[in-house]
Structure 1
Amino acid sequence: MTTADRQASRDVVKHSARHEGPQKHIIVFIFSIILTAIAFAAVAAGGVNPAFTVILLLAMAVLQVFVQMGYWMHLKDRGHMMPILFMVGGFFIAGTAIVMALYWVWW
């Protein structure tokens, strides 16, 4: 084997990408379905305290957002820091606008 052949075989090994199989996607899909079922069950159970239901729905929504962004939008992967920073900045600006609008209306 020549030096060029060895270099070529090393380049092939370096550039081979890790393929993510469907196992994680199936698990995350089932987790998303479970979160949705919990939210529907909380609303369908009429005798539950409304404050608890709202808190549970908000918690399920936040978990659902992290699951969707992390696995379906692949933001968990390397090289996605700028989209994450822009989303965090957008959430901060939107949250600030909502708080200031509520403050302006009620005080």
Structure 2
Amino acid sequence: MSSNHSATGEEAKRHRTEGPKKHIVAFVMSLALTIIAFAAVAAGEINTTFTYIIIVGMAILQVFVQMAFWMHMKDRGHVFPIIAILTGVFIVITMVIMATYWVWW
């Protein structure tokens, strides 16, 4: 029974140490990435292709920030959701490539 109690105590301790500090940092990072994307669009003097690259880059970074901090994918025990997400990404990329070749054919 003591081992079960200690596991619960460790889990509570881990959640206490996480605190709002990491959430505030993640929120600020999300805001910064969003502001960078909006600034790239607002500055009309930037090359359109470069603007698209900035927007896609900020979107990819935003996904990693959201998944790591808000969805807690960085914690242990999230192997199955990560595998499912990567499988979905692989299927979507495959479908986009197939559709592109089908249209060009």
TM-score normalised to the size of structure 1?
0.87
| Matched position secondary structure for 1:15 | helix
Give the unaligned 5+ runs of structure 2.
none
Question: Whole-Å Cα distance in 1 between the matches of residues 62 and 7 of structure 2?
Answer: 35
1:56 aligned partner: 54
More helix by share: 2
2:40 matched residue in structure 1: 42
For residue 93 of structure 1, what is the aligned residue in structure 2? 91
**1:17-36 matches, cutoff 5 A:** 17=11, 18-19=14-15, 20-36=18-34
CA distance in 2 between counterparts of 1:14 and 1:91 reads 35
Q: TM-score, normalised by structure 2?
A: 0.89
1:82/1:11 Cα in 2 relative to 1: closer, same or farther (>3 Å)? Answer: closer
Q: Which protein has the larger Cα radius of gyration, Structure 1 or Structure 2?
A: 1
Q: Percent identity?
A: 55
| Count of matched residue pairs | 100
Which 4+ stretches in 1 moved above 3 angstroms?
A: 10-14
Distance across 1 between alignment mates of 2:96 and 2:53: 19
Q: Which segments of 5 or more consecutive residues in structure 1 lack a partner in the other structure?
A: 1-6
Partner of 1:4: none
Higher relative contact order (CA 8 A, sep 6+): 2
Letter in 1 for 2:48: P
